[in-house]
Structure 1
């Protein structure tokens, strides 16, 4: 079976520089074109795809983006698109539009993680508001992911002993208790504690506890 592919790639200079990128997925060529025009007029960069598989085969943006898709598509529908993205670790926010909306489908879409569900013809203000909200969600998601990666990278610089001391501090133990557990002197604990805080670029125990929540610390 032959599927339509994404529309030809455009020169980046053809798109307006804007606050984010919107990926449009719709089997209806006219609907894709109209939505792309609307978004370009608002300053967004928009790329169109004629079916969900074409988007999944493409290199997705590394900057904040969102997807506006018809929920009812052949082969891979909108709900399946969300699941594919989640399974790949790319939970890009999705806004659904459809000509045939019903309450059960809208509920399923929202439960699956859709940011919004708009029946056609949709109000342009509602669509643009949903896009702005979705891009804010994706920007925050990426910011959190960057912070987590930075914490993990700093954690990787710790020695095994520093990790043990960190685990004790996170558990709320005093220096002398950590020293007793590890069979080392309290002074040595203090030295390791000072070193790990410097390497982790943290100033307080609460900061260390928060950092530990995204790390695989040993029990």
Structure 2
């Protein structure tokens, strides 16, 4: 278990909250505990590593309501729901919103650990994806204004000769810029370049006639 991975337990039953925390700490998991949704919201930050063990029935905002609020705020912690009873509509709503698992109390340790392991894998995937995006944006920032124009036009599906006409440069120059953009963004194929542009939010074509940077 990576040191940076923390299980955030939001459970209003103090006895159960302490029991789960003790169990997880006994296997060297990082743990933080909260008695209500508002307590967690006060400290939650986008990009926090770990997962959320979230009771469905909480004082104030319910667990499902908290899930929706976190999503609206840009938080994407993997969530494992805990419930004394679970209706089918509630379960479907939570799972469609991205919940990892829905555990009915009393649950067995093996099921809890399995759910946390799944959440840990999902957390690692989102973290790695975020790190890739950060690296991609840093490389994108190093492009010249002209290279960014060429990238936008390529992403919009323009052919080299069309890009050349729109920007008032030669087709050979377009090919040079395109090759340099691919090298800077560390992509090998046109399909990879288009996908990178999508991840960067580069869509459509820039205003034509932009002067060639010196």
TM-score (norm 1): 0.83
Report SS of the residue matched to 2:12: coil
User: Shift of residue 60 of structure 1?
Assistant: 4.3
Name which of structure 1's ranges 175-184 and 123-132 shifts more when overlaid on structure 2. Answer: 175-184
User: Shift of residue 40 of structure 1?
Assistant: 1.4
Matched residue, 2:212: none
Partners of 2:3 and 2:180 lie apart in 1 by: 43
Q: Spell out, residue by residue over 1:37-88, the C-alpha distance to the aligned partner (whole angstroms, 9 max, x if none).
A: 1111222111111111101101448553001121001111101111121111
Q: Spell out, residue by residue over 1:18-40, the C-alpha distance to the aligned partner (whole angstroms, 9 max, x if none).
A: 57210001111110111011111
1:107 paired to 2:92: yes
1:188 paired to 2:173: yes
Unaligned runs of 5+ in 2: 205-214
Report SS of the residue matched to 1:184: coil
Matched residue, 1:161: 146
Matched residue, 1:199: 184
Report SS of the residue matched to 2:7: strand
Matched residue, 2:83: 98
Partners of 1:60 and 1:177 lie apart in 2 by: 45
Matched residue, 1:74: 59
Partners of 1:204 and 1:135 lie apart in 2 by: 32
Report SS of the residue matched to 1:213: helix
User: Shift of residue 155 of structure 1?
Assistant: 1.7
Q: Spell out, residue by residue over 1:81-124, the C-alpha distance to the aligned partner (whole angstroms, 9 max, x if none).
A: 11121111112111111223333332232233321111111011
Report SS of the residue matched to 1:23: strand
1:58 paired to 2:43: yes
Matched residue, 1:135: 120
User: Shift of residue 190 of structure 1?
Assistant: 2.6
Whether the 8 Å contact between 2:155 and 2:202 is mirrored in structure 1 is: no
How many residues are aligned here? 204
TM-score (norm 2): 0.84
Partners of 1:27 and 1:175 lie apart in 2 by: 61
| Cα distance, 1:60–1:202 mapped onto 2, change above 3 Å | same
Partners of 2:2 and 2:96 lie apart in 1 by: 33
Report SS of the residue matched to 1:214: helix
1:37 paired to 2:22: yes
Report SS of the residue matched to 2:28: coil
Whether the 8 Å contact between 1:82 and 1:91 is mirrored in structure 2 is: no
| Cα distance, 1:110–1:218 mapped onto 2, change above 3 Å | closer
